[in-house]
Amino acid sequence: MMKKGLFVALLTALSVLVSAEEVRPPLAVEPTGIIETLPERYPADWFLVHDAAFFHMSDGKVYVLDTDKDSIGDQVQGMFPLSLMGSFIEAPSRGEILAIETFHTRGTRGDRIDVLTIWDTVNLSAIAEVILPAGKRFMGMPERVALQLLKGDRWLAIFNLSPSTSVTLVDLDTRAVLGEIPTPGCSFIYSNGDLGLSALCADGRMLTVLLNEDGSEKSRILSDVFFDSDDSPIFERPARVGDIAYFPAFDGRVQPVALTGSAALPMASWSLFGKGEESWAPSGIGIDGEDDLGRIYFLMNSEANGVEGMHNAGGSEIWVFDPEARRRVLRIPLEAWGLSLAVSRGEEPKVLVTNPTDMSVELYDGLSGSFIKKLTGFGQETPLLLRGAQ
Amino acid sequence: MMSFIDRLLEQRARSVAQRAPRRGMLKALGGVLVGASALPLLPVARAAGPEGAARPQETGSDTDCDYWRYCAIDGFLCSCCGGSANTCPPGTEMSPVTWIGTCHNPADGRNYVISYNDCCGKPGCGACLCQRDEGDRPPYRPDKTNDINWCLGTSSASYHCSAAVVVGVAFEE
């Protein structure tokens, strides 16, 4: 009798639930065609991750990641393509990202097209393009110094290596090529004042070209020799604080060069390592960075100093320096291994590092050095260069 | 994907063991971009004969990243892509401008200048990725850098794989 009563009660309860389900209103019909947008200026915790797609280079891309979030759905903000080992630079004052790409009309064959693609930061849409002289632009492992903004972000300077070297100047307001500046024997672009650029030369000097208001060449001058590209090479990738570029060297020194709108001026070099650390040297791809506190960061390898062929291997620690005091202020031991790094802007810098053992990216606190989180599974394959949002 | 990771890590251990003498590299040669059309005869090939048959001119496998010619290479080995250590796979185009390295041939004890000619016009081969950077310098030394796409002067900029061609015996300094 009791069992029968319980059965009836359960049946009644179930029927009530079913009734409630039946009367619950359905989901509202949703509009289609809604496309997300992004803030005009990306927050400080955002990074741009350049996946060069080393195994299928025409499919390169740049992910926009919010590293403050904890799930993939919240971390990935968007993406834009970057074909054939392209280069890019943010121009936040213009609300644009400037990307240099190469295409062939039949994929890997056909006519070659080199193009500056201009993306707007809010919609991540290609809003304009400038066709570049074909077959000139630098195409290689991603570099921060392949592109520079000049003249208050109105001009874009594009490094060419064909293998003759030069710089193509583009007026971003008129979307037109202004001209080409030859830099024979000298490579990359280091902004030098608002109307000047410098380049590193194979003979151990630095070329500086100053420009007129119309983009024509005003003057050029070479520095004294300050390194030997065979026996004591410097990396082409400096950390930059204000007007001083800090070039790490293969032998564990750092070579500062003042770029103040006139001839590049090499300053006295100093050692990154202390007593008992003589085997350490910078190593990796994106091996350095800087923060808004004026500190500089280097990816360091404990076996690289004096060992030929170790300069691209990456490292196990990041060392942070106060360059004015020439003093190391922090060591950041990495969870596994590092290949490239980038530092976020602001008073509380974070460091994002490519971990080549699983091709994830890892976030560290730039003040304490502590590990924060690993970000992975966002579609990345070979995230070779990282950049903090500007 | 994994081979890329493996090679990056493998390089750390290998570089100490495989430091070949660099003294044979002619600085003057560094300023010259070696053209594929100007390749001299393989010096060791001229020694073909009874003596050559008795002593191997080269040892090792050209599909192995540790093969002696690959001391300054960075890319997919053409030997694994339908080509060989010194030829491109079918249907590709060999870049006429290259970077060069100096590698020690343990079979005859000589140092050789190696021209690393990229093969171009198809997507990345994807096999046998090999990164060894002995003598590699940043791209401001284009003649000695493996960090750029050397599909220059070719009809397509699409990188497929890298060959390693002997172009001469390195002179002792």
Instruction: Classify the complex by whether its ipTM is higher than 0.85, answering yes or no.
Output: yes
Residue A299's pLDDT is what? Answer: 98
CB contacts under 8 A, A 118-177 vs B, are 135, 138-141, 143, 161-163, 165
B136 is catalytic: no
Query: pLDDT value at position B22?
Result: 28
Does pLDDT of A40 surpass 90? yes
Nearest residue in chain B measured CA to CA from A186: B140
**B152 — contact with chain A (CB < 8 Å)?**
yes
* Mean pLDDT over each residue of chain B, to the nearest integer: 76
**Band of residue B39 on the pLDDT scale cut at 50, 70, 90:** very low
* pLDDT score, position B11: 44
How many angstroms away from the CA of A40 is the closest CA of chain B?
34
Around Cβ A165, how many Cβ atoms within 10 Å? 24
pLDDT value for B25: 25
pLDDT of residue A175: 98
> Does the pLDDT at position B16 exceed 60?
no
Residues A290 and A344: their CA atoms lie apart, in Å, by: 9
Chain center to CA of A314 = 16
pLDDT beyond 50 at B43: no
Residue of B nearest to A112 (CA): B156
Quick one: pLDDT at residue B55?
A: 63
Task: Say what the pTM is.
Answer: 0.87
Closest CA to A145 of A390, A334, A385, A389: A385
Contact B8 A313 (CB under 8 A): yes
In this structure, are residues A250 and A234 in contact, taking their beta carbons and an 8 Å threshold? yes
Q: Residue B35: pLDDT band by 50, 70, 90 thresholds?
A: very low
- Across the interface, of A112, A187, A358, the residue whose CB is closest to B140 is A187
Give the model's pLDDT for residue A108: 95
Distance between CA A206 and CA A199 in Å, rounded?
6
Q: C-alpha angle A142/A79/A140, rounded to 5°?
A: 15
pLDDT of A204 higher than 70: yes
Question: Is the pLDDT reported for residue A372 higher than 80?
Answer: yes
What's the whole-number mean pLDDT along residues A214-238?
97
Instruction: Name the residue of chain B whose CA is nearest to A284's CA.
Output: B8
Domain count, chain B: 1
What is the structure's pLDDT at B10?
Answer: 47
What's the CATH number where B78 sits?
Answer: 2.60.30.10
Give the per-residue pLDDT at B54: 58
Nearest CA in chain A to B139: A187
Residues 38-77 (A) with a CB less than 8 A from some CB of B: 54-58
Give the gap in angstroms from C-alpha B16 to the nearest C-alpha of chain A.
7
Residue count (chain A): 390
| Residue B56 confidence (pLDDT) | 72
* Residue among B97, B81, B107 at smallest CA distance from B165: B97
Extract the tokens encoding A217. 């060449």
Whether the pLDDT of residue B87 is over 50: the answer is yes
Domain span at B107: 2-169
Tokens of A288: 């350095």
Averaged pLDDT for residues A146-162: 98
Whether B150 is catalytic is: no
Residue A193, pLDDT > 90, answer yes
Percent of chain A beyond pLDDT 70? 95
- What pLDDT shows up at residue A291? 98
pLDDT of B49 above 60: no
The SS3 assignment for A230 reads coil
- Encode pLDDT of A60-70 as tens digits: 999 999 999 99
Tens digits of per-residue pLDDT, A228-244? 999 999 999 999 999 99
Report the range out of A11-25, A188-202, B132-146 with the highest average pLDDT. A188-202
CB nearest to B156's CB, from A108, A200, A359: A108
Q: How far apart are CA B6 and CA B50, in angstroms?
A: 41
Beta strand A165-171 with B74-76: parallel, antiparallel or unpaired? unpaired
Of residues B27 and A183, the one with the higher pLDDT is A183
- CB < 8 Å to B10, chain A: none
What is the average per-residue pLDDT within A89-113?
Answer: 97
B53 vs A13 pLDDT, higher one = A13
Cα–Cα dist B35/B98, whole Å:
7
Query: With bands split at pLDDT 50, 70 and 90, how would you rate the model's confidence at B171?
Result: confident
Q: What mean pLDDT do residues A286-311 have?
A: 97
Task: Name the pLDDT band for B28 (thresholds 50, 70, 90).
Answer: very low
Give residues 191 to 250 of A whose Cβ lies within 8 Å of B: 199-202, 229-230, 233-236
Annotated active-site residue in B68, B118, B136, B150: B118
Among A257, A267, A306, A255, CA closest to A283: A306
Provide, as residue numbers in chain A, all residues whose Cβ is less than 8 Å from the Cβ of B24. none
Chain B within 8 Å of A279 (Cβ-Cβ)?
A: no
Selecting from B11, B16, B121 the residue whose C-beta is nearest the C-beta of A109 gives B121
pLDDT at A196: 98
Place of tokens 């121009």: A91
Amino acid at A245: A
A351: confidence class by pLDDT, cuts 50, 70, 90: very high
**pLDDT score, position A5:** 60
- What percent of chain A stands above pLDDT 90? 94
What would the mean pLDDT of B10-24 be, rounded to a whole number? 34
Give the residue from A356, A257, A238 showing the smallest Cα distance to A297. A238
pLDDT (0 to 100) of residue A31: 96
Indicate whether B2 pLDDT > 60. Answer: no
